[in-house]
């Protein structure tokens, strides 16, 4: 079954690269298989459901997918590639972002690691290769040099980082620039309930350097959907790690959810659609988002967020209500 991507969906440049992506991609940690550490956050998504999720995303115009080595030790990468093959989508029409986990490793392992990423994702190439965490046994410069080697060898198209603080962003960018390569992105936690990129210098660094911010957990594991406020008993069916996090977030987000529901009703959408639309438009073109989806209906919400344009008054109301989340607040 050949899947044709929807036309007319706006694209943004990934940093200063020549890669163009939709403001909303698809995060795929949920394809990890629900085993080991991953089971604390995600339940298993059946293969047929995975196929439908990916196909629906493509049909809605989503043209990029984020995965990682650490998501099921390659399980997410394999499942994503199989789903894309099943949809018969051409490599030229999509971009895949994946990550190397640096914990207890040196930069030299990147040269071997990329071959595994390529194997698991075949026949689709690695568009964006990211360092998953700012913790490694090698310096930032050594890691960037290894990444530059991979670009020059044609094994990856672009370099990104994840969860890096502003000073490390700038060091990584400078190190890569010394090799004539741009640092494309930093993947960090951003949402209406977490706006710390504004106060920790991450947003400023991204704008100064021409980088894209990729927002992970943009719906706070479903908290911003509002359904768990309406029926807290739904938490009982979620994995324990996710359940504990969400329970702590419910009280602190109640007033924001009420406003999200009001705006959603006025626009004929769900609160999740409003939250995503705000996120990828409030910061101009600097911030894009990778919400996950374990059901087709959730992908449909993500796609609807690509279409929704909130009024200035609606954007301002959400800005004002969420402004306190620019700093770290105690949970509860």
Among all residues, which ones are annotated catalytic?
71
> Rg of the chain over CA atoms, in angstroms?
19
Those residues with Cβ within 8 angstroms of residue 157's Cβ, 6 or more apart along the chain or in another chain: 17, 19, 95, 125, 126, 127, 128, 151
Those residues with Cβ within 8 angstroms of residue 232's Cβ, 6 or more apart along the chain or in another chain: 247, 250
| E strands in 22-134 | 26-27, 64-66, 95-100, 126-131
What tokens were used for 86?
């099943």
Burial of 291 (0-12, 13-18, 19+ CB in 10 A): buried
Q: Alpha-carbon distance 8 to 111, whole Å?
A: 38
Q: Alpha-carbon distance 84 to 273, whole Å?
A: 25
The residue written with tokens 């309406």 in the block is: 230
What tokens were used for 46?
């059946």
Look up residue 235 and give its DSSP letter.
G
């Amino acid at each position: 079954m050949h899947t044709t991507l929807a036309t007319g969906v706006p694209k943004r440049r990934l940093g200063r690269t020549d890669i163009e992506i939709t403001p909303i991609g698809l995060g795929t940690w949920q394809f990890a298989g629900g085993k080991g550490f991953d089971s604390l956050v995600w339940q298993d998504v059946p293969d047929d459901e995975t196929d439908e999720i990916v196909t629906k995303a493509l049909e809605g115009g989503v043209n990029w997918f984020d995965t990682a080595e650490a998501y099921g030790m390659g399980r997410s990468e394999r499942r994503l590639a199989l789903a894309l093959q099943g949809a018969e989508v051409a490599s030229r029409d999509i971009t895949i972002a994946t990550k190397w986990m640096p914990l207890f490793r040196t930069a030299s392992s990147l040269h071997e690691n990329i071959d595994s990423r390529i194997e698991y994702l075949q026949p689709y190439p690695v568009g964006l290769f990211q360092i998953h965490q700012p913790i490694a046994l090698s310096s930032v410069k050594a890691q960037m040099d290894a990444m530059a080697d991979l670009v020059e060898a044609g094994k990856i198209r672009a370099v990104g980082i994840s969860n890096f603080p502003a000073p490390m962003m700038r060091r990584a960018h400078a190190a890569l620039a010394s090799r004539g390569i741009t640092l494309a992105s930093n993947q960090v936690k951003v949402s209406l309930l977490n706006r710390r990129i504004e106060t920790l210098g991450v947003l400023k660094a991204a704008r100064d350097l021409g980088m894209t911010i990729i927002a992970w957990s943009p719906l706070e594991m479903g908290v911003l959907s509002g359904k768990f406020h309406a029926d807290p008993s739904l938490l009982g069916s979620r994995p324990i790690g996710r359940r504990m996090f969400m329970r702590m977030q419910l009280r602190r987000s109640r007033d924001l959810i009420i406003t999200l529901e009001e705006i959603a009703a006025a626009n004929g959408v769900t609160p999740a659609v409003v939250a995503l639309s705000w996120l990828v438009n409030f910061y101009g073109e600097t911030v894009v988002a990778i919400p996950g989806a374990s059901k087709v209906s959730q992908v449909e919400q993500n796609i609807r967020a690509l279409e929704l344009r909130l009024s200035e008054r609606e954007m301002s109301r959400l800005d004002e209500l969420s402004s306190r989340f620019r700093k770290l607040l105690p949970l509860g």
